[in-house]
């Protein structure tokens, strides 16, 4: 299982928010153990910053919405490195990081901090944080959240005689809401213990620390109705489209795409689990000043809004949503009218317990 969970989730759920033209405009070339690409336009005076991201259509969207405009404004060229956590951490420990700025999950950033692999941030050099209105709990000593994806419920609108599931309790109620279910396995995302506890009446603000025993008891009640465990972003949509299930957990960015294809589905954001992506600076970064400038630029509200237009990504910036049309905003789970319906993943709890929970989940799934 990869540490860069959110990165991989973003990569897998690149659902057409970026055109083929944008992807084709991204120049790829081998660089070390990862992949590097240079921002269009080049830098003035030879200034460069190297940023790590996960590539794919998400990387292409970053190129369009962030890197190219940054180079045009500052004259600093952006080189991109697609590298997994393990080799990047090894480079940092050796004092030779290939990248300066790291775009990664906040969970991965927390792991990096525990290994002394990130620079402590000088927030006075990231002035956009205040104007962008980024949630305070996503501003840490070493990393700042820039976007999130939400895990939520998707359902067929033609399956329940006009009734709409409103909660995770409804997801578990196969009497009132008949049909098969699908949930993720640990190759797709964190085990969905929170949803089981919400279904059993635990309030969102009382979820953590998770009651693992209770969660598995609740999961067991639904086990016979779970027809398939999904491990990639497209699969819930496939199962719903084929009517193999009537409800599934899903990444929120998938639903709008399915609806455009004419699939009778909708999402329910009550009890959505948020996981954030963010920026940090590698310990010993060679281009520290440029890294701060790119971080500051990337966290601007207008930059996050531009990225949301290019990829189904929910800005961390509350101000970014005011820069989107009503139609664009309505598709995003981070919009003000939806935000309070969900909760933030407790990273510290999962870092301590993910391995044990995953082992137990695999045993439970095998029956």
pLDDT, one tens digit per residue, over 32-85 is 334 444 444 444 445 999 999 988 888 999 999 999 999 999 999 999 999 889
List beta partners, residue 229. 183
- State percent of the chain over pLDDT 90: 80
pLDDT at 11 over 70: no
Same fold, 5-148+276-339 and 150-274+344-366: yes
The domain limits of the chain are 5-148+276-339, 150-274+344-366
Indicate the pTM of the whole model. 0.85
Q: Quote the pLDDT of residue 259.
A: 87
Instruction: Tell me what pLDDT residue 56 has.
Output: 87
User: What is the tens place of the pLDDT at every residue in 175-186?
Assistant: 999 999 999 999
pLDDT band of 122, cuts 50, 70, 90: very high
Taking domain 150-274+344-366, whether its CATH number is 3.40.190.10 is answered by yes
- How wide is the angle at C-alpha 221 spanned by C-alphas 218 and 224, nearest 5°? 135
The answer to whether the beta carbons of residues 6 and 147 sit under 8 Å apart is no
Residue 144 has pLDDT above 50, yes or no: yes
Q: Selecting from 3.40.50.10090, 3.40.50.300, 3.40.190.10, 3.30.420.40, what CATH number does the domain 5-148+276-339 have?
A: 3.40.190.10
The confidence band for 358, taking pLDDT boundaries of 50, 70 and 90, is: very high
Please, are residues 54 and 4 in contact by the beta-carbon 8 Å criterion?
A: yes
Give the residue among 196, 181, 327 at the shortest CA–CA distance from 256.
Answer: 327
pLDDT at 10 over 70: no
Q: Which of 7, 12, 345, 349 is nearest to 195 (CA)?
A: 345
Mean pLDDT value of segment 105-115: 95
* pLDDT over 90 at 120, yes or no: yes
Query: 242-251, pLDDT tens digit by residue?
Result: 999 999 999 9
Q: What is the mean pLDDT of the chain?
A: 88
Burial readout 307-331 (b: 16 or more C-beta within 10 A, e: otherwise):
bbbbbbbbbbbbbbbebbeeeebeb
């Amino acid at each position: 299982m990869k540490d860069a969970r959110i990165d991989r989730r973003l990569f897998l759920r690149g659902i057409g928010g970026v055109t083929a033209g944008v992807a084709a405009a991204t120049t790829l070339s081998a660089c070390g153990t990862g992949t590097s690409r240079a921002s269009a336009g080049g830098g003035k005076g030879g200034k460069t910053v190297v940023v790590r991201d996960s590539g794919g259509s998400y990387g292409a969207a970053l190129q369009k919405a962030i890197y190219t405009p940054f180079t045009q404004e500052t004259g600093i060229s952006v080189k991109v490195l697609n590298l997994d956590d393990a080799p990047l951490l090894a480079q940092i420990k050796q004092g030779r990081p290939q990248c300066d700025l790291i775009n990664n999950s906040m969970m991965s950033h927390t792991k990096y901090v525990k290994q002394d692999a990130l620079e402590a941030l000088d927030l006075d050099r990231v002035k956009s944080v205040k104007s962008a209105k980024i949630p305070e709990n996503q501003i840490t000593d070493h990393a700042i959240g820039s976007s999130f994806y939400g895990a939520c419920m998707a359902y067929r609108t033609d399956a329940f005689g006009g009734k709409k599931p409103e909660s995770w309790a409804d997801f578990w109620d196969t009497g009132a809401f008949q049909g098969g279910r699908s949930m993720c396995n640990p190759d797709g995302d964190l085990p969905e213990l929170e949803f089981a506890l919400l279904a059993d009446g635990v309030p969102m603000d009382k979820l953590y620390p998770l009651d693992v025993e209770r969660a598995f008891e609740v999961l067991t009640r639904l086990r016979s109705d779970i027809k398939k465990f999904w491990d990639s972003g497209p699969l819930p949509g496939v199962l719903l489209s084929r009517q193999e299930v009537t409800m599934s957990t899903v990444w929120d960015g998938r639903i709008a795409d399915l609806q455009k294809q004419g699939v009778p589905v909708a999402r329910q954001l009550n009890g959505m689990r948020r996981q954030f992506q963010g920026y940090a600076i590698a310990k010993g970064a060679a281009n520290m000043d440029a890294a701060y400038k790119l971080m500051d630029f990337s966290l601007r509200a207008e930059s996050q809004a531009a990225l949301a237009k290019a990829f189904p990504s929910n800005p961390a910036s509350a101000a970014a949503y005011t820069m989107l049309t009503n139609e664009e905003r309505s598709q995003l789970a981070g919009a003000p009218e939806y935000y309070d319906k969900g909760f933030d993943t407790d990273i510290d709890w999962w870092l301590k317990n993910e391995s044990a929970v995953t082992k137990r989940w695999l045993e439970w799934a095998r029956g």
